[in-house]
Amino acid sequence: MGDGPLMVGVSGMRGIVGASLTPEVAARFAGAFGSWLPRADGRPTVVVGRDGRAGCDPIHAAAVAGLTGAGCDVIDLGVEMTPTVGVMVDELGAAGGIVVTASHNGQEWNGIKCLVPEGEGVAKGVRACAPPPRAADEIAAIFHGDGVAWRNWAEAGRVRTKHDAGWDHAALVLRRLGDELVALIRERRYSVVVDSVNAAGVEGGRRLLESLGCRVTHLGDDESGVFPHPPEPTRENLGDLCAAVRDARADVGFAQDPDGDRLAIIDAQGRYVGEEWTLVLAARSVLEACDALGARAHEGHRGIVLCANLSTSRMIDDLAREHGARVVRTRVGEAHVAGAMKREGSEIGGEGNGGVIWPGVTCVRDSLGAMALVLALMARHGRPLADLVADMPAYAIEKRKVEIPSHDAASPAVERLAAWAGKAGARTDRQDGVRVDWDDCPHAGGGPAWVHVRASNTEPIMRLIAEARTKDGADRLLAEVERAIGR
């Protein structure tokens, strides 16, 4: 194994191609996953997709080889989004899924995400999600040890391909949205600019939006797999999309990440609404149309649970309170949120990074479902997106990264912050690093505020995230936290 970080954990595996991540490493990790899968019904079937980034072919081929070498049959979808693989695992009754992707990481990265059936889902027929922590640990142990069960010639798996899975995914979103809302969105004839960053979301995104009667301007829609800008859908990376929305006089702009499981939003003025708003707008859409979306109907929505991780904006709490719902907070990571959603019977959940989990479609974060829910909200109200955003109390969230040599290197900072928060009389949550909450924060100029410090699951960094009423307040809070942890 060469130089560079190799991250193995609840989010799968990621590394630098040609350095820490080689075809041999990819084959062994896929073989570990294939060895871990149960074999009660003969050879397991695994659905495989890739995000299409340049240079992914050898890693994709190695992953398929690892699965078949471990005795799994493979259904290869080609270039498809992570949520599309989740949908296909459900619809094809597969034993699991693998996506060759490094998600929002840069061009030099790649990796493997795993999806597993986790019992009976929130909605009938929904099964696939990221492996729960216990399963992820077991797969990692097989990978790091000598536990891959390579099979002989008679037991090796076989490969077949499936085309147009992206259309199947888009069609499922339309069905879950319902005929009435689909017709209403089509009547609006929205002008939409979407940036798919030359990766897996191109085909599925276009098909969904055109099926909803939208006039689509598509950026990042070639097949080169070369990202036209850093692929994480954050404000600083989406200047061209913001300008394109203004130039086209579009109603909304959408930005996908390479594997299509995250979505950021731009309003009609070309302003970055952001990733934090994606879950809030999608959740509001579900809460306001619970019956139409096929979710459980509760008088006043009082039985509805929204699930979100600790790094997600408190806007979701405000929204839940307005609708008589409640919020369950989890550790960061799709697997943790999906697990909580299944336990709680949640109709909608996700993460503040633009990842929406709508179990009516899939228990995987899904940019297509998020687009559909945001357009449905706009169509139902007949108002611009900016007006809908203005309905909610405003907060400012600031995020910083600190490079660290290992995941454990964040522990001293976490402990110092927890001790400081205890002396300050604030509330702490130690599920994942430490989150500190104030109802009236003196370090942020007053008002509700929180900060979350944790080691990343996917990059060799420590994340510092703070939210307050104003950007200045969030910055001041982060400065105080940095002093507390000794930076």
- Cα(151)–Cα(69) distance, rounded to whole angstroms? 6
Q: Which of 462, 466, 487, 461 is nearest to 477 (CA)?
A: 466
Strand partners, 454: 463
What SS3 state is found at 309? strand
What separation in angstroms does the CA of 99 have from each of 50, 82, 88, 102? 5, 6, 12, 9
Verify whether residue 103 is a known catalytic residue. yes
Which ranges in 128-275 belong to alpha helices (H)?
133-144, 165-177, 179-188, 201-211, 239-248
- Cα(258)–Cα(191) distance, rounded to whole angstroms? 23
- Residues 11, 20, 35, 103: which is the catalytic one? 103
Q: Which helix (H) or strand (E) holds 400?
A: strand 396-403
- Cα(3)–Cα(9) distance, rounded to whole angstroms? 19
Burial 143-158 (b: 16+ CB within 10 A, else e): beeeebeebeeeebbe
What separation in angstroms does the CA of 206 have from each of 85, 196, 331, 472? 17, 9, 33, 39
| Reduced DSSP (H G I as helix, E B as strand, rest coil) percent helix, strand, coil of the chain, to 5 | 40, 25, 40
- Cα(356)–Cα(279) distance, rounded to whole angstroms? 6
Active site residues: 103
